[in-house]
A and B are shown apart, each in its own frame.
Chain A
């Protein structure tokens, strides 16, 4: 088990070296991170220009949520999306064989062998927004306990979004093309930029039980707001464990269908 972090480190190192060869791309991507963040923050300010709270969420609290959204989006763009795009390509071309013959867990290898480092800019910016929101009138009672609950909930949120993504990606074993599927997932993930409480009930239910985006952004920030703990935290950890388990089952089931692309 101990060698997995070491392997992960090698993947990251390789990817950084690869990406640094395209410095202009790095620069344009940084500009886009900034434009994206300025746009989303403006959107939040435009709405709060007309109201003090949305279903109990104050401006700093919604900003913190946007920070978590940006951070998770950075993780998706750094680790999840590039790997799973490549995975679908691997099925089409048959290059997935190379991942399968290596003496490590194939799901781990396919999920993390490549990372696009510029996504980490979103992670940094997202974390700064959360920090800023916490320092500027987020609310009373954010102690070490709340922070711990927040970190745990955010971690299980990351596990949930990863499991969702890879579960959808395994569909590629049957259909070969998955970019359509991930497009839908992204459209739903985008709804996580506002607390689910701001949506009508039917949409809240969809975002909690069908595409559990609520656990990725709303629940972690709820931990900081002192809402719903500890029940929501326990729920989130359970959903994360279940989602991860389902994803590994689906992965193995899909893999048994793989016959490579050569004739």
Chain B
């Protein structure tokens, strides 16, 4: 399986390198939307602070958010979803490995190449906003550790949504709805701590916060020991649930699949 992954990874990597302009544009999409909220919150904070957050803290939060958003984001609706709709999945079903492995290789390849564009862009943006970094190396390390389960959750979750293409041609609509939840409940519109009571409770219970916002909160040093532990437990639980969801949709979907004929 590892050998198969390596083959998939190399071929995906090579094909992605052919689309350099796409990566540049993609990095604009990763950076510009959070930039709106970074700028607005920064202005609201002004010289003082909002609910204990200074301008510089918002800056660090959102710059970290941009990078983590890139590292955790799901692209499966564009890869797997498209393959199912166009019937390209058929030859892949004949291989002796699960097609999800190829999707995973594509996901990892995309993020690795993308990081070379997103990270420098964020670093270029940083001096324009004067960040104030106050976290400890330990927190930083723990936060980076939390990125991995978050990315895995979004991959499984996004893959399951892409698999809806087995049943409907509008799987992209579900994906868009999913993005709306991420926007509201995973720290893009505002850091979770600044959401109104109702939304905050919802964010704590639903999986979205653990897919993106949680690692950002840990990296920027907002959470205490207990909260971090609880966050990792929630990540573990939702990761298991996402795994079951993916298995279930795959088994049902592939039986339902009628490829587009030539």
Contacts and interface: CB of A to CB of B under 8 A. Distances in A.
Interface of A: 28, 32, 35-36, 39, 42-43, 45-47, 49-51, 54-55, 180, 183-184, 187-188, 190-191, 193-194, 198-200, 202-203
A47 B41 contact: yes
Chain B interface, DSSP helix/strand/loop, else mixed: helix
B140 interface: no
A62 to B, nearest CB: 10
A258 B94 CA distance: 45
Interface residues of B, number: 33
B229 interface: no
Given A198-B39, A199-B43, A35 B177 contact: yes
B39 A49 contact: no
B43 A46 contact: no
Contacts of A191: 32, 35-36
B176 interface: yes
Interface of B: 21-22, 25, 28-29, 32-33, 35-37, 39-44, 50-51, 128-129, 170, 173, 176-177, 180, 183-184, 189-190, 194-196, 199
A194 B40 contact: yes
Contacts of A188: 32
A156 B33 CA distance: 26
A198 B36 CA distance: 9
B32 A46 contact: no
B184 A28 contact: no
A180 B41 CA distance: 29
B43 A198 contact: yes
Most interface-central of B37, B44, B51, B195 (chain A CB within 10 A): B44
5 contacts: A47-B41, A49-B194, A50-B44, A200-B43, A203-B39
B121 to A, nearest CB: 13
Nearest to A38: B180
A52 B170 CA distance: 41
Contacts of A193: 36
Contacts of A190: 32-33, 36
Contact of A35 (B21, B43, B180): B180
A198 B128 CA distance: 15
Given A184-B28, A188-B32, A54 B180 contact: no
